[in-house]
Amino acid sequence: MTLVVEAVRGDITRQQVDAIVNAANSSLLGGGGVDGAIHRAAGPTLLEECRRLRETSLVEGLPTGQSIATGAGALPARWVIHTVGPRRWEHADGGAALLGSCHRTCLDAAIGVGARTVAVPAISCGAFGFEPAEAAPIAVAAVRDWASHQGGIDLVRFVLFDDDALDAFMRTINVP
Ligand code: APR
């Protein structure tokens, strides 16, 4: 099946997909923005699972650009894929490689747990300082590039919270 890439306005915690992506930080122990919303909606088992990861395979935390899957607690999705976006101000070169890596490694993590439909927020477009117009082409190109080498994912749905981000992702996706 060919990958469908789409953009919708919405709250990612409500998405009925196999996996939703969390724009986390390296600690994996929660935060504000979409991270806070996901932990609130998932309930305490998500934080417990993240704490266990920090005590076992991720003692140093999750590096920027990397992704890891956990269960999803009370969310409608089955998995949460945590990724750590770059902080825009730390990358004079734009941080495109790390932001692209977030999207590619999220899809690798999705494949790893058998998820075929994935909802993705505007990673790094809140506290981490990217403009949606800058992040959207990086995100969409990374997803398309990943899918040109590999199958297994049917849907990547970018779920955007505000007009700016929705507009940027819609425009990018609709460029042939
Ligand atoms: N559904 C979809 N998108 C959301 C939601 C939601 N429920 N809540 C917020 N967003 C949007 C924001 O409007 C923004 O466009 O997610 C985008 C990413 O913003 P942040 O959550 O701030 O993520 P990021 O910029 O990657 O910063 C990550 O923020 O809270 C912390 O723990 C997190 O330290 C990490 C940092």
* Total structural domains within the chain: 1
Q: What is the pLDDT of residue 175?
A: 81
Average the pLDDT over 164-175 and give the result: 96
Query: 25 lies in which domain range?
Result: 4-173
- Report the chain's mean pLDDT, rounded to a whole number: 97
Is residue 162 pLDDT above 70, yes or no?
Answer: yes
Which of 27, 34, 164, 167 has most ligand 1 atoms within 8 Å of its beta carbon, as the pocket-test mutant?
34
Decide: pTM greater than 0.75.
yes
Question: How many C-beta atoms lie closer than 10 Å to residue 28's C-beta?
Answer: 23
Residue 166 CA: distances (Å) to CA of 46, 116, 128, 162, 169: 28, 23, 18, 6, 5
Per-residue buried b or exposed e for 129-157, using 16+ beta carbons within 10 Å of the residue's own CB: bbebebbbebbbebbeebbeeeeebeebb
Residue 172 CA: distances (Å) to CA of 27, 113, 163: 31, 28, 14
Q: What is the pLDDT of residues 32-85, one digit of tens each?
A: 999 999 999 999 999 999 999 999 999 999 999 999 999 999 999 999 999 999
Average the pLDDT over 8-22 and give the result: 98
Is residue 1 pLDDT above 80, yes or no?
Answer: no
Q: What is the pLDDT of residue 176?
A: 67
List residues bridging with 71 in a β-sheet.
Answer: 79
Is residue 171 pLDDT above 90, yes or no?
Answer: yes
Residues with a catalytic annotation lie at: 35
Residues written for the chain: 176
CATH code where residue 89 lies: 3.40.220.10
Percent of the chain whose predicted confidence (pLDDT) is above 70 = 99
The first and second tokens of residue 143, run together, are 């997803």
Which atom of ligand 1 lies at the shortest distance from residue 13's CA?
A: 7
Which atom of ligand 1 lies at the shortest distance from residue 125's CA?
A: 25
- How many angstroms is it from 168 CA to the middle of ligand 1? 16
Q: Identify the weakest region by mean pLDDT among 33-37, 93-97, 100-104, 128-132.
A: 93-97
Q: Using CA positions, which residue lies closest to atom 34 of ligand 1?
A: 25
